[in-house]
Amino acid sequence: MSIESNLEKLGLVLPPAPAAAGLYEHGVLSGNQLFLSGGLPFDAQGELVKGSVPSVCSIEVAQKAAELIILNRLAVAQEQLGCLSKIKQVVQLQGLVNSDQDFYGHPGVIDAASQLLIDILGDKGKHSRLAYGVAALPLNAAVEIALILEVDPT
């Protein structure tokens, strides 16, 4: 199945690629790798999922936030590449969770992002991963995710 048909089957639509919010690029193509900057969980209305997990933002909401970021990152990849079929492999996912000091469930939050990549991309979505708990994220976001993709640059 194509990536687009997987998105349709899952009932998902990629949002417009967000504009960079600072002095950086959302994606940089280097050879056959596309480095996608850390994305934040903005929903379709532009609202940011905020707060420390799990005291302010529940684990379930943080998982949904991670999925939002994946859709946003794929929108950036589509904008950079022209089409998602140029993705050969998700090489690495780096996930950061705005965490309470005694929260150790970061992998469970980031698992939602990993699973969505596999659901959308199939085996191409399998990846290496880092899952961090941090004291704060930009704009008090609950989650931030960056990706490295192997792509067909032509």
Give the start-to-end residue ranges of the domains of the chain. 27-151
| CATH code for the structural domain at 27-151 | 3.30.1330.40
What per-residue confidence (pLDDT) applies to 98? 98
Residue 103's identity, in one-letter code, is F
What per-residue confidence (pLDDT) applies to 19? 84
How far, in Å, CA of 88 to CA of 9, rounded? 21
What per-residue confidence (pLDDT) applies to 153? 80
What per-residue confidence (pLDDT) applies to 44? 82
Strands 27-30 and 143-151: unpaired
> Average pLDDT by consecutive 10-residue portion of the chain (154 residues)?
87 90 92 97 92 98 98 96 96 98 97 98 97 97 98 88
